[in-house]
Structure 1
Amino acid sequence: MIIDTADPNNVVSAFGLAWPEALRIHGSVIRLAFPSVLFMTGYGVGIAFLIREYPGLAINISALSLVSLVLSLLLVFRTNSAYDRYWEGRKTWQDLKVNSRNLIRSYWVCVMEKSIEDSVVKRQAMKNVAAFIISIKHYLRGEDGLEHADYDGLLSPDFRLHFSTRSAAYNYGAIPASGSNSPEMVVGHGQLYHTQETTEGWQRTGDIPLPSQILYELQKFTEHIQDNHLVHLQFYANLLGGLNTLGNMLGNCERIVSTPIPLAYRIHLHHALYLYLLILPWALGSMGLAKTIILQFVISFMMIGIDCISREIQNPFGYDANDLPLDAYCEAVLIELSYALHHRAPKALATTEDTIASTVANAKDAGDSGDTV
Structure 2
Amino acid sequence: MRGSSYFKRPAEYYRRTQWTYPDTLRIRGSVIPSVLTDVVIITSFSATILAIEKFNWLERSLNVPNMIVPALSVVVGLILAFRTNTAYDRYWEGRKLWASLDVQIRNFSRMIWVGMKDTPHSATDGGVAGSRGSVRVYAHQLFGRNNSSSSMKSVAKNGALATTTTNASNSTVRGESVSHSTLIDLDSDIHHEDVHEKVLVIRLLLAFAVSVKHHLRQEFGIRYYDLEKLLPEGYEPCAATDHVDTKAQHDKALGDRQRLYNEESWNIHVGNEDGQMSLPLEIAHGLSLWVIAEARQSRIESALIGNLLGSINSMTDIFTNMERIVFTPIPLAYSIHLRQVVYLYCLALPFTFIAALGWLTVPLMCLVSFTLFGMEAIGREIENPFGKDANDLHMDEFCRDLKRELDYTVNLKNFVPGAHA
Q: Which TM-score applies when normalising by structure 2?
A: 0.70
Partner of 1:110: 115
1:150 is displaced (CA, Å) by 1.2
Work out which of the residue numbers 331, 335, 338 in structure 2 matches 1:266: 335
Q: Deviations over 1:224-244 (max 9, x none)?
A: 111000122221111111111
Long gaps (5+) in structure 1: 167-197, 351-373
Partner secondary structure for residue 335 of structure 2: helix
The answer on whether the counterparts of 2:207 and 2:231 sit within 8 Å (CA) in structure 1 is: yes
- Summarize the Cα distance change of 1:310–1:127 in structure 2 as closer, same or farther, 3 Å threshold: same
Whether 1:320 and 2:394 are equivalent positions in the alignment is: no
Work out which of the residue numbers 45, 48, 51 in structure 2 matches 1:46: 48
Amino acid corresponding to residue 228 of structure 2 in structure 1:
D
Amino acid corresponding to residue 155 of structure 1 in structure 2:
L
Amino acid corresponding to residue 129 of structure 1 in structure 2:
L
Task: Say how many residue pairs are matched.
Answer: 314
Amino acid corresponding to residue 131 of structure 1 in structure 2:
A
Whether 1:139 and 2:215 are equivalent positions in the alignment is: yes
- Summarize the Cα distance change of 1:281–1:207 in structure 2 as closer, same or farther, 3 Å threshold: same
The answer on whether the counterparts of 1:11 and 1:21 sit within 8 Å (CA) in structure 2 is: no
The answer on whether the counterparts of 1:11 and 1:19 sit within 8 Å (CA) in structure 2 is: no
Q: Deviations over 1:29-73 (max 9, x none)?
A: 100000011011000001112223266321112321111001100
Give me the identity figure in percent. 35
- Summarize the Cα distance change of 1:37–1:134 in structure 2 as closer, same or farther, 3 Å threshold: same
- Summarize the Cα distance change of 1:201–1:165 in structure 2 as closer, same or farther, 3 Å threshold: closer
Partner of 2:316: 247
Amino acid corresponding to residue 135 of structure 1 in structure 2:
S
1:212 is displaced (CA, Å) by 0.4
Partner of 1:68: 73
Partner of 1:340: 409
Higher relative CO (Cα under 8 Å, sequence separation at least 6) belongs to 1
The answer on whether the counterparts of 2:238 and 2:278 sit within 8 Å (CA) in structure 1 is: no
1:18 is displaced (CA, Å) by 5.3
Q: Deviations over 1:107-126 (max 9, x none)?
A: 10111111344443332111
Whether 1:59 and 2:64 are equivalent positions in the alignment is: yes
- Summarize the Cα distance change of 1:322–1:221 in structure 2 as closer, same or farther, 3 Å threshold: same
* C-alpha distance in structure 2 between counterparts of 1:200 and 1:259, whole Å: 24
Q: Deviations over 1:280-334 (max 9, x none)?
A: 1111111243211011110000000111111111111111110111011111221
Partner of 2:29: 27
Q: Deviations over 1:155-207 (max 9, x none)?
A: 1103x2x32889xxxxxxxxxxxxxxxxxxxxxxxxxxxxxxx9982256252
- Summarize the Cα distance change of 1:124–1:305 in structure 2 as closer, same or farther, 3 Å threshold: same
Give the alignment of 1:1-373 within 5 angstroms.
1-6=6-11, 19-52=21-54, 53=56, 56-116=61-121, 117=127, 118-158=194-234, 160=235, 162-163=236-237, 201-202=267-268, 205-346=274-415
Q: Which TM-score applies when normalising by structure 1?
A: 0.78
Partner of 2:179: none
Normalized per residue, the structure richer in helix is: 1
CA RMSD of aligned residues (A): 2.6
The answer on whether the counterparts of 2:83 and 2:379 sit within 8 Å (CA) in structure 1 is: yes
* C-alpha distance in structure 1 between counterparts of 2:15 and 2:117, whole Å: 52
